[in-house]
Structure 1
Amino acid sequence: MFGENHAHIFMNAVNYRQAVRKHENGVDEEVIYSHFRAYQEKNISFVRDGGDNLQVSKRAKELAGEYGIDYRTPVFAIHRKGHYGGIVGRGFENLKEYAALVKEAGAQGGDFIKIMTTGIMDFNTDGSVTETPLSFGEVKEMVHIAHEEGFSVMAHTNGARAVREVVEAGADSVEHGNYVDGETIQAMAESDVVWVPTITVVKNMIGCGRFSDKVLKKIWETGSRNIRSAFARGVHMALGSDAGAYRVYHGQGLADEWNCFKEILGDSQPVQQRLLEGEQRIREKFQRQ
């Protein structure tokens, strides 16, 4: 019924370094095939990738038709050098270099642009995001450049202010969006942005021993509260699990994300309809115009 709106085909949900080694000497197509089989078994026919720096998602796009999958990818994500993002893409030092990367993504068949504007959740604390976000001025120009080239923009962003600013900058989807507040949720509600919370990443780690369950449960509670608030205010949302991330398996990750939403919002027709509408927005926008 639903598509997977945030995945990383090169990751294996077990060990990032191990996953990278599989492709260091060239794309291992069997990895792609195994993940596509997992999606096929779950009747998932739409996958939007978050990119990588190994050409795996690029090759996956070329192979997806064999499995009846509508597969979208930015080819690689784009981050400012010295900031988070190297694990999934390419870096720039100035906006001229950024613009060149946007053009290169297009030349390689990218369907949209993914930008990294912040770090990730610090799972050792409740409420912190690693490193300082990019400035609003820079993010706004990054979104503008991508739009001028005919691309929609997927923004990896966490933290209330950073999410609010990326929405104000005109990004088309917000990925993760952890630790948003009421003002930010309202900003999303008043925009056309689609929020893809990927909350199963947190839920699936509870009990694994990698991080404190006390901290993880607090993050889960905060995320759940924000999703309820966003739903109540009419924010466009879609299901994306961050498949490939630790303990989030391809295919199963989407089922896990849907289970999280059912636990948070209930299994009702209005919830399903809102998520399907959000996904439809992504399907329509996240292909080069």
Structure 2
Amino acid sequence: MFGECHAHLFMNGSNYRQAVNDHKNGVNTARVREHLEAYRACGITYIRDGGDHFGVSLQARALAGEYGITYRTPVFAIHRAGHYGEIVGKSAQTLDDVRLLVQEVRREQGDFVKIMVSGLVDYSGFGLLSEPALEKGWIAEMIHIAHEEGFAVMVHANGADAVLAAVDAGADSIEHGNYIDRECMAAMAERGCVWVPTIVTTRNLIGCGRYDDRILEQIYDMECENLVCSWELGVPLAVGSDAGAYMVPHGQGAVCEYETFCEVLKDVRREDLDGHLQESEAQIRRVFAQPQ
């Protein structure tokens, strides 16, 4: 089984408020162990966390070896104050604040830096995001600051403008990447930037009743088209499900994401797809490791 290249162990896949209550007064170790066991049961031996502000991912990393799992975490994600990201990290009013937070990641022995440069997909309509992307200069400087400190950079980005700005600035991986275009994918291919599309975050919502299935299916169809295009262009693709998000359970999320890759890329020989995913995961394992 492939690793889980994008997870949030502090979330539970069903109820965000309950997840917060589980950890707001201190890390709930029993819950962390429950999730780690779910990964072990699925044969998953590598997890790259997307961060949180409760210390859950740090505790998970400390315990993961008992489950035969290599665990990597940014400790928390960094977002610009007033923009999306509080759910998983800490805010920066200025770029000097970004530098201070990157230094905090180092003190906490984080393995890499994660930054947030756009909003979320707004499932109330096709093509909508919860907010515009950050300015190109901010995105470039956030990545530059992290790279100066020796960290790889995981970038939460949706929308063509945000993704292209991040890739051009040297992002090591793009997470989600909804509503991107061919130019974005060509740039990722050229620069060797890994794309972790987390397709099941949309697919698993279809039929749940929370959103209009017609909109969900339109978004999912677009994601599938982009996955096919990215394969044809040679974009490094990796399995990551955003495990912990609504309807994306720990362990099974990565299994479902891989099955989705196989279904969407059904005309690709399975050995070729597996080889590609293994190579991309190997790149993530190598790059997203604690700097010396």
Q: State TM-score, norm by structure 2.
A: 0.98
Letter in 1 for 2:285: R
Q: State the Cα distance separating 1:102 from its structure 2 match.
A: 0.3
Secondary structure of the residue aligned to 2:191 is coil
Provide the residue aligned with 2:177 in structure 1.
177
Provide the residue aligned with 2:8 in structure 1.
8
1:280 and 2:282 correspond: yes
Secondary structure of the residue aligned to 1:156 is strand
Looking at structure 2, the residues matched to 149 and 264 of structure 1 have their Cα atoms a distance apart, in angstroms, of 38
1:121 and 2:125 correspond: no
Letter in 2 for 1:280: A
Looking at structure 2, the residues matched to 282 and 128 of structure 1 have their Cα atoms a distance apart, in angstroms, of 30
Secondary structure of the residue aligned to 1:237 is coil
**1:58–1:109 Cα contact (<8 Å) kept:** no
Q: State the Cα distance separating 1:58 from its structure 2 match.
A: 1.1
Looking at structure 1, the residues matched to 136 and 31 of structure 2 have their Cα atoms a distance apart, in angstroms, of 38
89-98 vs 267-276, which moves further: 267-276
- Correspondence for 1:270 among 248, 269, 272: 272
Provide the residue aligned with 1:78 in structure 2.
78
User: What CA RMSD, in Å, does the superposition of the two structures yield over aligned residues?
Assistant: 0.7
**How many residues are paired up?**
289
Q: State the Cα distance separating 1:188 from its structure 2 match.
A: 1.1
Provide the residue aligned with 2:235 in structure 1.
235
> 5+ unaligned residues in a row in structure 2: which ranges?
none
Looking at structure 2, the residues matched to 259 and 129 of structure 1 have their Cα atoms a distance apart, in angstroms, of 27
Letter in 1 for 2:270: S
Provide the residue aligned with 1:136 in structure 2.
136
Provide the residue aligned with 2:45 in structure 1.
45
Q: State the Cα distance separating 1:161 from its structure 2 match.
A: 1.4
Q: State the Cα distance separating 1:127 from its structure 2 match.
A: 1.2
Secondary structure of the residue aligned to 1:162 is helix
Provide the residue aligned with 1:151 in structure 2.
151
Percent of aligned pairs sharing the same letter: 51
Q: State TM-score, norm by structure 1.
A: 0.99
Looking at structure 2, the residues matched to 212 and 29 of structure 1 have their Cα atoms a distance apart, in angstroms, of 37
**1:156–1:176 Cα contact (<8 Å) kept:** yes
Q: State the Cα distance separating 1:184 from its structure 2 match.
A: 1.1
Looking at structure 2, the residues matched to 124 and 263 of structure 1 have their Cα atoms a distance apart, in angstroms, of 26
Provide the residue aligned with 1:168 in structure 2.
168
Provide the residue aligned with 2:203 in structure 1.
203
69-78 vs 180-189, which moves further: 180-189
Provide the residue aligned with 1:261 in structure 2.
261
Task: Report Cα offsets for 1:91-122 as digits up to 9, x if no partner.
Answer: 00001111000010111110000000000100
